[in-house]
Amino acid sequence: MKRFWNEATVQPVDSGWGIALDGRPLRLPGGTTLHLQSRPLAEALAAEWHVAGGARGNEMTYEEVPLTRLVGTAVDRIAPDPAPSAAAIAEYGGSDLLCYRAEDRRLAALQAEHWQPLLDWAALHHDAPLQVTRGIIHVAQPPDSLRALHHAVAAHTPFGLSALGIAVPAMGSLVLGLALSAGRIDAAEAHRLATIDETYQESFWGTDSEALARRERIAVDIALAARLLELSR
């Protein structure tokens, strides 16, 4: 789309807060006029669009406004029927990264030290104990635990589901996603825990540029999700 604005501002509306681009209401790609109940979230989106509008007349893409893309997903795609999104996210509980320990004893010990406290938290906080195995062979999780995790996911707002929808796949762990949402861990800690295997291997074999780039992308996704979770509360 063309950059037609110089300034993005937050404006009060009947249902909360709207965003105006040089006085024109901001519309999502689906045509919805964006209204938000959280002023901090509206201010963050306005700041994003203010920066994006700096080269008026040039083309822009929604890649330049990542927080807006997540909000748009929440409003246009998830809010009308949250159940499919919640179900898709909850499926990660059946193959959670934290349940699969390495064959290497030193790495397995490191994983147990840093991952088990989060599994214990999930068992206590969500009544969802999960089985741990060694290697990559799939281990079936207790159905009651999976139902409890699904319930925990479904309790999120559309904004929370949008955030979990990028954080959980990026990390390969529903438990880490729920811990991030609950404030049990922050974005940096979530990223560290999700990439223990890679950083351990790099301590022996050195840094691989492709692996490093992948970890950086994961860090960006987690940080973005954490920001939306915080701003939409």
Of the pLDDT bands very low, low, confident and very high (cuts 50, 70, 90), residue 28 is confident
Would the pLDDT of 229 be above 90? yes
Structural domain of 18: 8-64
pLDDT in tens, 182-223: 999 999 999 999 999 999 988 887 778 888 899 999 999 999
Q: How far is residue 174 from each of residues 6, 24, 83, 226, measured CA to CA in Å?
A: 40, 39, 16, 14
CA distance 92 to 102: 19
Which helix or strand (DSSP H or E) is residue 133 part of? Answer: strand 133-134
99 and 43 in a common domain:
no
pLDDT in tens, 29-52: 888 899 999 999 999 999 999 988
pLDDT in tens, 61-115: 888 999 999 999 999 999 999 999 999 999 999 999 999 999 999 999 999 999 9
CATH number at residue 38: 3.30.2180.10
pLDDT in tens, 151-162: 999 999 999 999
Task: Kindly report the pTM of this predicted structure.
Answer: 0.94
Give pLDDT, residue 53: 80
CATH number at residue 156: 1.10.3580.10
112 and 12 in a common domain:
no
144 and 33 in a common domain:
no
Give pLDDT, residue 148: 98
Residue 75, domain member (yes or no) = no
149 and 215 in a common domain:
yes
93 and 134 in a common domain:
yes
Give pLDDT, residue 59: 82
Would the pLDDT of 55 be above 70? no
Give pLDDT, residue 154: 98
107 and 50 in a common domain:
no
Residue 33, domain member (yes or no) = yes
Give pLDDT, residue 61: 84
Enter the tokens of residue 124: 């206590």
Residue 202, domain member (yes or no) = yes
pLDDT in tens, 115-163: 999 999 999 999 999 999 999 899 999 999 999 999 999 999 999 999 9
Which residues have C-beta within 8 Å of that of residue 34, sequence separation ≥ 6? 18, 19, 25, 26, 27, 28, 45, 71, 72, 75
Give pLDDT, residue 1: 75
Would the pLDDT of 2 be above 80? no
127 and 183 in a common domain:
yes
Q: Is 171 left (phi over 0), alpha (psi -120 to 50) or beta?
A: alpha
